[in-house]
Chain A
C-alpha cells in the first residue's frame, strides 16, 4: 500500500442530529400535553416519564457521538419521533381505557404506557450496547451460521411447552420471568445477518453457476441448499404458529436479498409467482387465511363479526378526515387492538391524513437513509446487511399499514416504533443501531476508510 485514499471532507452533522432529537422529543411532549388537556387528565407521572425519555435520548446521542461519529444523522431522530408519537398515542388510549372502566364501574386497567417506556429504555440500552460492541459490522459475518441457527431457534421457542404462550390464536410469545417476549422479532435480525453473510460468499456462484435441468438453469445445491433449508424451516415454524405477518416479511426479505446479491430479476419473478402459489394454497388449506382474505375483499360483508376491526379502522380514518379530530378527541379506542396492530388507525383518526403523511414520510426517510448506507458502504457484506435490515423495517411498515388501510390483506404485525410491544421496539432499535454502524463506516472520511479497505482485504473476504 503506497498512497491512501483521500476522500472529500463531509460534515458529520452531529449537531443537526442533536437538534432534531430535541425536536422529536418536543413533538412528543406537545402531543402528550394535548392529550392531557383534551381529556382533562393531569397525571404527574407523565412528566417524569417524558423527562426520562428525553434524558435517555440525549445519552443515546452521546453514545453515537462517541462510538459512531460519522454516522447518519437522520436515522435516530426519525425513529425517536415515531417512538414519541407512539408513546403519546398509547398514553391517550390508556386514558380512554381508564375512562371506560370508570363509566362501567369495572376495575381500573393498568396503564400500558409505563411498560412501553420501560421497553423504550431497554431498546435504547440495546441500541447503545450494539453500537459499542459491534465496532465493525464486518465482524458479524463470522457469525453467519450462528445467526442462522439462532434465528431458527428463536422462531421455535414459542412452540415449546411451559414458556410458549398463545394469544388470539397465534403462538408467538414466550413468558420469561413474568415478562412476555416475542422472540420472532429478534429472529428477523438474526436471519438477516445469516442471509447477508451467506449470500455474500455465494452471490457470484448463485448468479453464474448453473446446471441445466429441462432447459432451465438451476443453481447448485451447494450454493442454494442451506438458504432454502433455513427459509423453509422459518416458514414451517411460522405456519405452525399461525403468524402470517412474519412469514410474509421473511419471504419478502429473502427475495429482496437474493435480488440485491445476484442482480437477477428472475428471482423477483420466481418470488412473485411462489407468493401467488403459496397464497393460493394457504387460502385453500387454512381457515384463518381464508377469513383474512375475505375480510380484505369485502369487510362490510360481516361488519359486526370478522370484519369488525377493519371496518372500525376505516371509520376511524374517515372520522379523522384531512386534519384529524385532534389528540384525545376521536374514538380510536373503538378499534380492537388499537395499541398494537392498529395504532396507525388511531393516529390516522386523531392526526388525519396530514398527520399520516408526515408519519409515512418519517418511515420513508428511515428507509432512504438505510438504503443510502447500503449503497455507500464499500464492503459487500455491509451492502447486503444494510439493505436487508432496511427491507425489514420498510416491508414491515408496508405490510401492517397496508393491512390497516385495506390495501393488502391484514396480517398481524407491529408497526415499527409506534406500536405497543417491547420485543418489536427492542429489535427495531437493534436494527437502527446496526444501520448506524454501517452508515458510520460508509461516511467516515479518508484514513478510516482506507484502513477499512485494507482490513477488509486483509481478512480476505469474498
Chain B
C-alpha cells in the first residue's frame, strides 16, 4: 500500500475514533439535559403503561408537590385529598433518607383549596421560606418548604 494512502488512513482512523468519542459525549450531554426537556408523566401519556393507582391519579386536583432540592430532586408527588406524611420512617408518604429528618417529620393536609403544613415535633424543624413552622401554616404555591436537606414546592 502506498505511503499516501496509509497516512490518509492513519488520520482517518483518528477521525473515526474521535467521532465515536464525541458521539458518546453528545449522548451524555443529551442525557444530562433530559429532565429539563422531558414532560412529567401525565395520565394521558402513560396510556401505554397502566398506572397501578388509577384512582388517585384521576382525582380532580391537579396540584403536585415537586422536590426542587435534595437527593430526590426532580421527583413530583401527586397530591390527592388525603394527608401526606414526610419523614424517615418507611410508612411515610415521602421517605427522605436524610440524617436531619425525623421519623415522622411533617404533615401536609388539604384544607379547602389549599394545603396546610404541620410540624410533627421534628428535631431540626420544618421551614417555609425563612420561617419555622410552629403551628399549622398555609403552604402557598411559590413558597418553598424545607425539611432537612430537601426543598419542595407546590405546582399545578
| Complex interface: chain B residues within 8 A of A245 (CB) | none
Q: In the complex the two chains form, is A77's CB within 8 Å of B24's CB? A: yes
Q: How many of chain A's residues have a CB under 8 angstroms from any CB in B?
A: 57
Cβ-based interface call for A295 (8 A): no
Given A6-B41, A358-B18, A378-B71, A13 contacting B6 (CB threshold 8 A): no
Judge if B95 is at the interface, Cβ distance under 8 Å.
yes
Spot the interface stretch: A274-282, A331-339, A360-368.
Answer: A360-368
Q: From B21, B84, B91, give the contact of A3 (CB < 8 A).
A: B84
**Which residues of B, 81-104, contact A by the 8 Å Cβ criterion?**
82, 84, 90-91, 93-95, 97, 99
The one of B9, B21, B99 that contacts A326, using a Cβ cutoff of 8 Å: B9
**When A7-B74, A204-B99, A355-B14 are in contact, do A2 and B56 touch as well, CB less than 8 Å?**
yes
**Is B27 at the interface (CB under 8 A from chain A)?**
yes
Is the Cβ of B38 less than 8 Å from the Cβ of A9?
A: yes
List A contacts of B40 (CB < 8 A): 6, 8-9
Of A24, A326, A368, A445, the residue contacting B10 (CB under 8 A) is A326
B11 within 8 A of A: yes
A115 within 8 A of B: no
Interface presence of A309 (CB below 8 A): no
Known A10-B35, A378-B97: A23·B23 in contact at CB below 8 Å: yes
- Interface residues in B31-66 by Cβ distance below 8 A to A read 31, 34-35, 38-41, 45, 51-53, 56, 64
Verify if A327 is at the interface (C-beta below 8 Å from B): yes
**Closest Cβ–Cβ distance, residue B70 to chain A (whole Å):** 11
Contact of A74 among B27, B74, B90, B94 (CB under 8 A): B27
B17: contacting residue among A10, A13, A77, A355, CB under 8 A: A355
Q: A380 — which chain B residues lie within 8 A by C-beta?
A: 97
Distance to closest chain A CB from B41 (angstroms):
5
In the bound complex, residues from chain A placing their C-beta under 8 Å from that of B27 are 13, 16, 20, 73-74
**A6 to B72 alpha-carbon distance, docked (Å):** 11
Q: Is A324 interfacial (CB-CB < 8 Å)?
A: yes
User: Smallest CB–CB gap between B22 and chain A, Å?
Assistant: 9
Contact A323 B11 (CB under 8 A): yes
Chain A residues contacting B23 (CB-CB under 8 Å) are 20, 23
Residues in A neighbouring B74, C-beta threshold 8 A: 7-8
Most buried by B among A8, A27, A77, A358: A8
A-B contact pairs, 21 of them (CB 8 A): A2-B56, A2-B80, A2-B82, A3-B78, A4-B56, A5-B77, A7-B74, A9-B40, A13-B27, A20-B20, A24-B20, A27-B16, A27-B17, A37-B1, A74-B27, A326-B10, A358-B14, A365-B25, A378-B72, A379-B97, A453-B95
Residues of B within 8 A of A (CB): 1, 6-7, 9-11, 13-14, 16-18, 20-21, 23-25, 27-28, 31, 34-35, 38-41, 45, 51-53, 56, 64, 71-72, 74-80, 82, 84, 90-91, 93-95, 97, 99
> What are the 8 A-B residue pairs with the smallest beta carbon separation, nearest first?
A457-B90, A326-B10, A8-B38, A9-B41, A358-B17, A10-B34, A358-B21, A6-B76
